[in-house]
Amino acid sequence: MRDWSTMPKAELHFHLEGAIPVPTLWELIEHHGGDPVIKSPQQLVDFYAYRDFAHFMETWVWMNTFLRTYDDFEFAAEAVARQLVEQNVVYVEAFFSPSDFRRHNLTRQGIALAIRAGLDKVPEVEVPLIVDLVRDRGPEGTSATLDAISEVAGDARVIGIGIGGYEAEHPPELFVDVYRKARDRGFRLTAHAGEAAGPASVWGAIKTLGVERIGHGVRSAEDPALVEYLVEHQLPLEVCPTSNIRTGVVSDWESHPARTLIEAGALVTVNTDDPAMFHSSLAGEFRVLEEIFGLDEETIKKISLAPAQASFAPPDSKQRLHDQITAWWD
Ligand SMILES: [Zn+2]
């Protein structure tokens, strides 16, 4: 058995807000005058348990209400980056979701720059950003967020776009224009699909949005033709095993579709999604591969290297990442 905590790790599906360490969020809660229900860090830990996907989304929205100033975002981003370094995570493409910005008179541009300022304080980990346009905001809202972020994409190092949120209610087809616009502006494309909705959502993301990766995609396993497509095209999947269990998208480890996708030969990466909110870590996801899925070392090695292949980084960075991870295995 390997010690996954020592492996240099990379992940491609990681929400910055959902990764804010509990002590850091607790500081923000206290700083903003406390919460009527959550009275201690332990209560916050216990609060991070979900009946279903919708309950998780409600908790996510609640957590975001404690990010009220640019300083909060900078403070939180720095804490997230420091925790990544402690865990030997060397490269992360991190989502941020500037959707609730209006409530505290913030701008989306300002949020992106504040997050970048926090991340830049921790140069030991490389964290380019992907803006989650939040599908609940519809075609117009997502388009407005894209326009705002485009103004600061260079300075804030925003390299791609995605759509999180309520997948079933807001199918990919609604976002064709905004994805086309993003592609024309040089953003790389991913989308949450096949998590809270089924294979049709994944087909939609591929065929109508032209995504270069699929966020989650686990429900693709329900459609053999889709699995065949994913394998043939080696379209990367940002699989988040523990997340699926915590949100109830997958009912138990026995029936987790990730194993089917891996065994079929899909290009699978493993990711934490929202590690603080799921009490998880990237090393823990590798333990899942080894101990729960029972995968052999060769297969786990391939998965550990998959981010170097599937990332949106320039070729030289991808090669560096590949070499760094390979050196640990040798
Ligand atoms: Zn996600």
The domain spanning residue 269 has which CATH number?
A: 3.20.20.140
* Residue in this structure with the two tokens 């909110």, named with its chain if needed: 277
Q: What is the CA(102)–ligand 1 centre distance, in A?
A: 22
Q: What is the CA(271)–ligand 1 centre distance, in A?
A: 9
Task: Report in angstroms the alpha-carbon separations of 23 from 42, 43, 85, 173.
Answer: 10, 12, 17, 40
Task: Report in angstroms the alpha-carbon separations of 280 from 17, 242, 286.
Answer: 14, 7, 11
CA atoms of 169 and 155, how far apart (whole Å): 34
Asked whether the beta carbons of 162 and 238 are under 8 A apart, the reply is no
CA atoms of 176 and 166, how far apart (whole Å): 17
Asked whether the beta carbons of 88 and 7 are under 8 A apart, the reply is yes
Looking at residue 53, what DSSP letter applies?
H
Task: Give the model's pLDDT for residue 102.
Answer: 74
Angle between the N-to-C axes of helices 138-150 and 176-184, in degrees from 0 to 180, rounded to the nearest 10:
10
Task: Give the model's pLDDT for residue 309.
Answer: 97
Q: Confirm whether 81 is domain-assigned.
A: yes
Q: Confirm whether 219 is domain-assigned.
A: yes
Q: Confirm whether 325 is domain-assigned.
A: no
Phi, psi at residue 190, to the nearest 5°?
Answer: -135, 170
Active site residues: 195
Q: What is the CA(13)–ligand 1 centre distance, in A?
A: 6
Task: Report in angstroms the alpha-carbon separations of 172 from 101, 202, 223.
Answer: 24, 8, 18
Q: Confirm whether 170 is domain-assigned.
A: yes
Q: What is the CA(15)–ligand 1 centre distance, in A?
A: 6
What 3-state DSSP class applies to 316?
helix
Asked whether the beta carbons of 111 and 71 are under 8 A apart, the reply is no
DSSP string, 82-123: HHHHHTTEEEEEEEE-TTSGGGGT--HHHHHHHHHHHHHT-T
Q: Amino acid identity, residue 46?
A: D
Q: What is the CA(197)–ligand 1 centre distance, in A?
A: 13
Q: Confirm whether 328 is domain-assigned.
A: no
Burial class (CB in 10 A: 0-12, 13-18, 19+), 279: middle
Task: Give the model's pLDDT for residue 288.
Answer: 97
Looking at residue 158, what DSSP letter applies?
E
Q: Confirm whether 143 is domain-assigned.
A: yes
Task: Give the model's pLDDT for residue 242.
Answer: 97
In DSSP terms, which residues pair with 215 in a beta bridge?
192, 238
Q: What is the CA(192)–ligand 1 centre distance, in A?
A: 7
Q: Confirm whether 27 is domain-assigned.
A: yes
Q: Confirm whether 329 is domain-assigned.
A: no
Phi, psi at residue 131, to the nearest 5°?
Answer: -80, 125
Strand order in the sheet with 188-193: 9-15, 89-96, 129-132, 158-162, 188-193, 213-216, 237-239, 268-270
- Under 8 Å CB-to-CB from 304, ≥6 apart: which residues? 7, 9, 286, 325, 329
Domain that holds residue 108: 9-311
The domain total for the chain is 1
Name the stretches of the chain with pLDDT < 70: none
Task: Give the model's pLDDT for residue 70.
Answer: 96
Q: Which two tokens stand for residue 263?
A: 């065994």
Number of H helices, E strands in the chain: 16, 8
Q: What is the CA(85)–ligand 1 centre distance, in A?
A: 21
Q: What is the CA(65)–ligand 1 centre distance, in A?
A: 19
